[in-house]
Chain A
Amino acid sequence: MATGPLRFRTPHIEELPTAQSRQSAGFAWVPVSGAQDDPAKNWGTTNRKRQRQSTGGQTDQQKEAVSARQQREVERRIKDLNSDNSKETVEIPKKPGQQPSGGAFKIGKTSGTKKIMSSGKSLQHHLEDEQAEIDRTGRREGEVDAPAPNAQRASKTPLHRRKPREDSSASNSPAPAVSSMPPPAIPREVVQLDDSDGDEESQLPGLPSAAEMEALLNAPPLTYAQARASSPPPGLPPPRRFCETCGYWGRARCLKCGAMTCSVVCKDEHDQSKCLKMYA
């Protein structure tokens, strides 16, 4: 096989004069560099899996691209799951027997309400507007006590990668327990506890004092994005995959499109109708 690592090459051989010099072939197997380093010998496979391995492994950039593609695919699917099935806009019918001041009835009585009712913004717009407002002024509207806008630049780290700040008890940042799920018995020095009341013989940590409860209650509400539960700690097992045809555990991945199937029967079904090669 010409693509093997060994080649014919005649090294320099000196036949030493010995008493018994056997007849040997005039060649020897010599290891040379493999096809990986010799691009001329790589004829290119259409098989993407072999391609990935034969061309010296993927560069980091290529790996990023593959995972970004998968990420986008996953996000698209999640967005689909959240869709409202409202492709056709449903018109609001006019009530029969409209009263004489019909216009005001439908559109709004005051100028403020007219503007509200005719606004076509979706929730996404509102959330983005609010985020822009916070970034601009450093505080939410209506919050009396706000951090100085220039004190700290709005962090650009995505929320799930932020480290919890030890001094945050009632501030705006969410402080999810990034340090996985230790049993709550391990004390966290977030709030100074008042041990004098509530200390029973079973060694429960004391309830916070009234002042601390007030501080907790008066904490400003989080923004929509901050209240979202952040991703679990990275040490967990990888997400489970299911068969695309029947829903059982996914055991084999389709080489062309990456979908999982569980058995040969399901894989045949997938190849015939659902595989990406039908579309792509």
Chain B
Amino acid sequence: MAKPKNVPASTLSTGDLASRTLILDNGAHTIKAGYSSHLDNHAPNHQDCTIIPNCIARSTRDKRTYIGPELTTCLDYGELAYRRPVEKGYVVNWEGEKAIWERSFSSEEGGLGCEPAETNLILTEQPNAPVTLQRWTDEMVFEEFGFGAYYRTIGASLNAWAPSPFPSTADSVSGLPVECLLVVDAGYSHTTITPLYHGRPLHSAIRRLDVGGKVLTNRLKDCISRTFDVHREDHIVSEIKEDVCYVSPSPSAFAADLERTWKGGRYDARELDTTVVVDYVLPDYEHIKRGYHRPHDAKIKGGRVLRVDEETGRREHVVTVGNERFTVPELLFTPSDIGMSQPGLCGVILQSIHSLPEGLRQVFLANIIVVGGSGLLPGFVERLDAELRGAVDEDLVVRVARAEDPLKNSWLGGARMAQDEGNLRQRLVTRAEWMEHGEGWVRRRFAGKIGR
């Protein structure tokens, strides 16, 4: 891609919208990217969205560095060193992020084939961003990449345009936002609660819980490292978490599960319950490409072993995962287990709702949607539902639902919003406007303070 030193001028005349819109849901763990066009009638669906790991990884085993989408071509995920340009949801390291974006936009294998000057961009960020970082983002998008028009928004607010997971709400017409929605974004860096009214966030009620997928993965690493050191195996432990972890349906079930996975005291040896305790076979990327789990084999003592598999006759590393299966996700609901001074997810939701005026509380309690990677944990929604019902007054209706695809839901909402030309014209800021009015104006536009 030969680029001249100056940013190429867009071939569109002012007042014209580019034909395609690229929606980039920029997360700390992955980028969800895909196109949507307001010119055709194709309703966007989950297939249009590609998930790109938002990291630069270096493998010590084959001495290669993988940027962004190249990570799927990696053959050996062992001991991968990561570098994440996005910290806590905000892009801090633009050098790295630029490399990832460029690799994603290129037309090579795995890329999107995007030509920035011919595309509109919808970019997401996390709420409560430091103003400097917002300014940097705007400048990078316009100056460095050369997008013609762009709109930066809080990621959660795009969910208002996605199809509603509640069975009783009528399917919203594409292009119109749901009226009231409380978005629980259980993401990688943290979990954020955002109430939305007609797709616009109510800023004074946004609350954040500093436990996210990263904390869960690191905690699982610590727990497994009691028997087998996995501190550097980020990818593999992430897979273990996704495969075997689940959320206990209630605190009493948690206690019961903990009993079942206890090996007992010295005089009180107990049988481990093999329905809960599993053995996880670690991948070695020669024969076993992907780890898998199976019920615990009582012959394996001590938590880890290197043994010969009976069927295939090959050696495999096996790690026993017992109470980590449910104590690790419990951190989302009881962060005080590791000493954090924040309430659990239920408490944070209640804090957010209590900061709203009286009349809005019921509406938001009845429209809670869970998005984000950690929302995929089995039992998450049921536990949240049960805890909220127990905490609020009995005659209030509480409805909690998980989005159909928690990872892509924000993207889908953005895609559906971009289908409507009116929406686009109202929100996008073109490069000409940025040059003319300056960054402060642009920032206030994105915050919704200046109408068009």
- Contact surface of A with B, Cβ cutoff 8 Å: 74, 77-78, 80-93, 99, 101, 104-105, 108-110, 112-113, 116-119, 121-123, 126-127, 129-130, 140-142, 144, 160, 169-171, 174-177, 181, 183-185, 187-188, 190-191, 193, 198, 202, 204-208, 212-213, 216-224, 226-232, 239-240, 242, 245-249, 262-265
Kindly state the separation between the CA atoms of A184 and B448 in the bound complex, as whole angstroms: 30
Kindly state the separation between the CA atoms of A116 and B133 in the bound complex, as whole angstroms: 10
User: Which B residues lie within 8 Å of A87 (CB)?
Assistant: 81
User: Which A residues lie within 8 Å of B94 (CB)?
Assistant: 113, 116-117, 119
Per-position 1/0 for B188-206, Cβ under 8 A of A: 0000100001001011101
The A/B interface has a contact count, at CB < 8 Å, of 269
Tell me which of A88, A187, A226, A247 contacts B223 (CB under 8 A): A247
**Nearest chain B residue, comparing its CB with the CB of A99:** B2
Report 9 cross-chain contacts, Cβ distance below 8 Å, ordered by A residue: A85-B232, A90-B82, A93-B67, A185-B393, A206-B359, A218-B449, A219-B203, A231-B343, A263-B264
Tell me which of B131, B231, B357 contacts A208 (CB under 8 A): B357
User: Which A residues lie within 8 Å of B130 (CB)?
Assistant: 123, 126-127, 129-130, 224
Q: Other CB < 8 Å A-B pairs besides A109-B6, A193-B359, A226-B128, 13 of them?
A: A82-B214, A90-B82, A108-B144, A109-B144, A110-B143, A122-B92, A130-B132, A140-B131, A221-B128, A229-B343, A232-B341, A248-B258, A249-B258
**Nearest chain B residue, comparing its CB with the CB of A74:** B339
**Nearest chain A residue, comparing its CB with the CB of B251:** A240
Assuming A99-B3, A193-B357, A246-B262, is B350 touching A126 (CB within 8 A)? Answer: no
User: Which A residues lie within 8 Å of B219 (CB)?
Assistant: 81
**Nearest chain B residue, comparing its CB with the CB of A126:** B130
Distance (whole angstroms) from the CB of A120 to the closest CB of chain B: 8
- Contact surface of B with A, Cβ cutoff 8 Å: 1-7, 56-58, 65, 67, 81-84, 87-88, 90, 92, 94-96, 98-99, 127-133, 136, 139-140, 143-144, 192, 197, 200, 202-204, 206-210, 214-215, 218-219, 222-223, 226, 231-232, 234, 258, 261-266, 268, 322-324, 327, 334, 336-343, 347-348, 350-351, 353-363, 391-393, 395-396, 440, 443-444, 447-449
Distance (whole angstroms) from the CB of B200 to the closest CB of chain A: 5
Interface of A is mostly: loop
Distance (whole angstroms) from the CB of B108 to the closest CB of chain A: 10
User: Which A residues lie within 8 Å of B131 (CB)?
Assistant: 130, 140-142
User: Which A residues lie within 8 Å of B84 (CB)?
Assistant: 84, 86
User: Which B residues lie within 8 Å of A264 (CB)?
Assistant: 265-266
In the A-B complex, the 10 residue pairs with the closest CB atoms: A263-B265, A183-B393, A177-B354, A74-B339, A239-B336, A232-B343, A90-B83, A191-B357, A231-B341, A123-B87
User: Which B residues lie within 8 Å of A193 (CB)?
Assistant: 357-359
- Asked whether, in the complex, the Cβ of A239 is within 8 Å of the Cβ of B56, the reply is no
Distance (whole angstroms) from the CB of A229 to the closest CB of chain B: 4
Q: Most chain-B CB neighbours within 10 Å: which of A217, A224, A227, A228?
A: A227
Kindly state the separation between the CA atoms of A181 and B60 in the bound complex, as whole angstroms: 51
**Nearest chain A residue, comparing its CB with the CB of B7:** A109
- Asked whether, in the complex, the Cβ of A240 is within 8 Å of the Cβ of B339, the reply is no
User: Which A residues lie within 8 Å of B96 (CB)?
Assistant: 92
**Nearest chain B residue, comparing its CB with the CB of A217:** B200
Tell me which of A113, A219, A222, A232 contacts B140 (CB under 8 A): A113
- Asked whether, in the complex, the Cβ of A242 is within 8 Å of the Cβ of B337, the reply is yes
Q: Most chain-B CB neighbours within 10 Å: which of A109, A144, A183?
A: A109
Distance (whole angstroms) from the CB of A214 to the closest CB of chain B: 10
User: Which B residues lie within 8 Å of A105 (CB)?
Assistant: 3
- Asked whether, in the complex, the Cβ of A222 is within 8 Å of the Cβ of B204, the reply is yes
User: Which A residues lie within 8 Å of B234 (CB)?
Assistant: 85
- Asked whether, in the complex, the Cβ of A221 is within 8 Å of the Cβ of B3, the reply is no
- Asked whether, in the complex, the Cβ of A142 is within 8 Å of the Cβ of B143, the reply is no
- Asked whether, in the complex, the Cβ of B322 is within 8 Å of the Cβ of A247, the reply is yes
Kindly state the separation between the CA atoms of A237 and B79 in the bound complex, as whole angstroms: 40
Tell me which of A90, A99, A109, A204 contacts B81 (CB under 8 A): A90
User: Which B residues lie within 8 Å of A144 (CB)?
Assistant: 444, 449
